[in-house]
Amino acid sequence: MVHYVFLLGAQSAWDMLHEEKSCKSITTSCSDLDEILGGGINCKEVTEIGGVPGIGKTQMGIQLAINVQIPAQYGGLGGKAVYIDTEGSFMVERALQIAEACIEDLREYDSFLRKDGKPCQINKQPNDFLANIFYFRVCSYTEQIAVVNYLEKFISEHEDVKVVIIDSITFHFRQDFDNMALRTRLLGGMALKLMKLANKFSLAVVLLNQVTTKYSEGSFQLTLALGDSWSHACTNRIILYWNGNERYAYIDKSPSLQSASSPYSVTAKGIRNSVSNCKRVKMM
């Protein structure tokens, strides 16, 4: 096909479709959720995931940081992860647990693929997974902005980074802001930078967000934090919520996916398909 480039950087929709098809996505390890997401968390997009405390946002973040590293021959991206922790909830022991379960799954998949009795090809250790997570711990919103600005340089030096996770985007922006217009500007600028990053390096950006109550028409309603203008900042928006005793994920906004919801569960192995029996264990 011959390209006539009239405008620098312009692309035809056909090219874009082609490109989008070649673009991979990161599995969430929950096949129901992957299905409604069209394969998982897409690269080149900014996805926001929000929910109440304890619903599993951080678990989702850690799971994605591990899953992005699944080697290409097993349908993964074989990439690395940048994890920006603003809340201090990233627990290494939990990441190790999820990495172990991931290796176990890969081994199982591997033995399923080759029945000829060849030895297993997976020689990854849980610690290798951890070594591929670049962990930034930020303690103020100025640091958060500085890190986001620095990411472009960092990722151009580490091109195999395929996912950037910010857990959470909100925390430092919920204090000390008398000037809401300034906050909106700062957040808008940050979202723009992240969007650019996602496009330039074809990586997935995942922003975790908190929920808050919004006072409107005389009553309090639950909504994701950071206000209305922020809700335009992300390509996709997924809301995690409780439905009875099950956790559900709901696609609230997406240009390409239809809104749908799917159950998921948080297990010892990480995010998995929901099993409806009660999982509460008695430890002692």
Partner 1 sequence: MKPEDLLQPLPIRAPKCSIGCPVLDRFLAGGIPCNSITEIVAESGCGKTQISLQLLLSAQYPTSAGGLSASSLYLHSEFPFPFRRLHQLSLAHSVLENPLDNIFVCPLKDADDLLDLLPRIDSLLAKPPRALFPIKLIVIDSIAALFRSEFDNNPSDLKRRSSLFFKISSKLKAQAMQFGVAVVVTNQVVDSMDSSEGLRIGNMRWLYSSGRKVCAALGLSWANCVNTRLFLSRTEEKVGDEDGGFPLTRTRRFISVVFSPHLPNSFCEYVVAREGVFGVDRSQGFCQTENDEPEFQRSFIVFGMKLRQVYTFIQQDLHNLCQSIVGDLINYSKNSL
Query: What are the residues binding partner 1 (CB under 8 A)?
Result: 52-54, 58-59, 62, 87-95, 130-131, 133-140, 143, 146-147, 149-150, 154, 170-172, 174-177, 210-213, 215, 222, 242, 245, 268, 279-284
Residue with smaller CB distance to partner 1, 108 or 246? 246
In the complex, least distance from residue 238 CB atom to partner 1, rounded to whole angstroms: 18
Strands 133-137 and 80-85: parallel
Residue with smaller CB distance to partner 1, 24 or 68? 68
In the complex, least distance from residue 184 CB atom to partner 1, rounded to whole angstroms: 16
Kindly state the helix (H) or strand (E) to which residue 192 belongs, with its residue range. helix 180-200
Residue with smaller CB distance to partner 1, 170 or 254? 170
- DSSP assignment of 87-153 equals SS---HHHHHHHHHHHHHHHHHHHHHH--S-PPP-----HHHHHHTEEEEE--SHHHHHHHHHHHHH
In the complex, least distance from residue 55 CB atom to partner 1, rounded to whole angstroms: 8
Residue with smaller CB distance to partner 1, 73 or 245? 245
Residue with smaller CB distance to partner 1, 24 or 79? 79
Largest CA distance in the chain: 70
In the complex, least distance from residue 92 CB atom to partner 1, rounded to whole angstroms: 5
User: What CA–CA distances, in Å, run from 108 to 75, 101, 116, 242?
Assistant: 14, 11, 14, 31
DSSP three-state, residue 173: helix
Q: 262: Cβ–Cβ under 8 A, 6 or more apart, which residues?
A: 30, 32, 33, 35, 36, 248, 249
Residue with smaller CB distance to partner 1, 43 or 208? 208
Residue 6 identity (one-letter amino acid): F
In the complex, least distance from residue 116 CB atom to partner 1, rounded to whole angstroms: 38
| Ramachandran quadrant class, 259 (left: phi over 0; alpha: psi -120 to 50; beta: rest) | beta
In the complex, least distance from residue 283 CB atom to partner 1, rounded to whole angstroms: 4
